[in-house]
C-alpha cells in the first residue's frame, strides 16, 4: 500500500502581491457601503464614511500583509470609521434620518417598495439594539456569511468568543423582534 501525498498548495508571488487601490475599490465598494450601514452609519453620512474608509485603505494598503483575508482587514477599518461616525452623529444629535426611503426602488412597484423600506427600517432598528461587539459578529457571521474562524480573524478575537457573541446577538434580536413585532400582531 502506498501513500499518496497531498497536493502542495504553493503560494505564488501573484497571490502574495498587495492588490491595487483601484482593484480594492472596485471589488469591495459594495461590501464597505452595506457594512457601514449595518454598523449604524446613517444614510446622510454614508458617502462621507465610505470615503473615509477608502482614504484609510489608500493610505495603508502598502502595509497590508495578507496574514488575514482582505475583507477582514477592510472590516476592521469599516468598524472604526462607523464608530467614529456614530459618535459624531450623537454629538451633533443627528436623528430622524429616513434611510430606508432613500433606497432605490425596484420594479416591484410602489407598494412593494414601501413594504421593503419598512422592513429594512425595522431590521436596522433591531441591529441598533445590539452592542458593538455583538453587532460586529452578527453582521459578519449572518449577513456577510463569514465562517467563525474568518469572523474571529476579522475581529481579532477567540473563535469561542465569536460563538458566544453570535448566540447572545441572536437571542437579543429574537427578544427585540418579539417585543416589538409580536405584540403588534396580537401575539403574546
Residue 81 domain flag: yes
Residue 105 domain flag: no
**Of the residues 51, 70, 93, the one at which a domain ends:** 93
8 has a pLDDT exceeding 50: no
Cβ neighbours of residue 24 closer than 8 Å, sequence gap 6 or more: 57, 61, 70, 74
Band (1; pLDDT cuts 50, 70, 90):
very low
Residue 135 domain flag: yes
62 has a pLDDT exceeding 50: yes
Band (94; pLDDT cuts 50, 70, 90):
very low
Residue 179 domain flag: yes
Residue of 41, 30, 58 lying closest to 144 (CA atoms): 30
Distances (CA, A) of 96 to 42, 101, 131: 9, 12, 20
Band (36; pLDDT cuts 50, 70, 90):
very high
12 has a pLDDT exceeding 50: no
Indicate the number of domains in the chain.
2
Confidence at residue 166, expressed as pLDDT on a 0 to 100 scale = 97
Cβ(85)–Cβ(48) under 8 Å?
A: yes
Residue 176 domain flag: yes
pLDDT tens per residue across span 95-109: 444 444 444 545 667
Cβ neighbours of residue 152 closer than 8 Å, sequence gap 6 or more: 158, 159, 161, 162
Residue 8 domain flag: no
Residue 101 domain flag: no
Task: Compute how many other C-beta atoms are within 10 angstroms of the C-beta atom of residue 153.
Answer: 22
Confidence at residue 142, expressed as pLDDT on a 0 to 100 scale = 94
Note down the domain range covering 62: 17-93
Lowest mean pLDDT among 37-46, 86-95, 129-138, 158-167: 86-95
Residue 53 domain flag: yes
Mean pLDDT across the stretch 4-23? 61
Q: Are residues 74 and 135 in the same domain?
A: no
Torsion of CA 53, 56, 62, 68, to 10 degrees: -50
Confidence at residue 61, expressed as pLDDT on a 0 to 100 scale = 94
Q: Are residues 24 and 82 in the same domain?
A: yes
Mean pLDDT across the stretch 104-121? 73
Which CATH number fits the domain that encloses residue 44?
1.10.1740.10
Which CATH number fits the domain that encloses residue 134?
1.10.10.10
Amino acid at each position: 500500500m502506498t501513500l499518496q501525498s497531498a497536493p502542495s498548495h504553493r503560494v505564488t508571488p501573484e497571490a502574495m502581491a498587495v492588490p491595487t487601490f483601484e482593484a480594492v475599490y472596485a471589488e469591495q465598494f459594495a461590501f464597505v457601503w452595506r457594512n457601514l450601514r449595518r454598523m449604524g452609519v446613517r444614510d446622510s453620512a454614508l458617502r462621507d464614511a465610505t470615503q473615509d474608509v477608502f482614504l484609510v485603505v489608500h493610505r495603508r494598503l502598502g502595509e497590508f500583509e495578507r496574514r488575514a483575508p482582505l475583507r477582514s482587514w477592510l472590516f476592521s477599518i469599516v468598524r472604526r470609521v462607523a464608530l467614529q461616525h456614530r459618535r459624531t452623529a450623537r454629538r451633533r444629535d443627528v436623528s430622524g434620518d429616513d434611510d430606508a426611503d432613500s433606497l432605490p426602488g425596484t420594479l416591484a412597484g410602489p407598494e412593494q417598495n414601501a413594504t421593503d423600506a419598512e422592513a429594512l427600517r425595522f431590521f436596522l432598528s433591531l441591529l441598533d439594539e445590539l452592542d458593538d461587539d455583538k453587532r460586529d459578529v452578527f453582521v459578519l457571521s449572518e449577513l456577510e456569511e463569514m465562517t467563525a474562524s474568518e469572523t474571529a480573524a476579522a475581529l481579532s478575537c477567540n473563535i469561542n468568543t465569536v460563538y458566544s457573541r453570535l448566540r447572545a446577538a441572536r437571542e437579543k434580536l429574537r427578544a427585540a423582534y418579539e417585543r416589538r413585532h409580536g405584540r403588534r400582531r396580537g401575539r403574546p
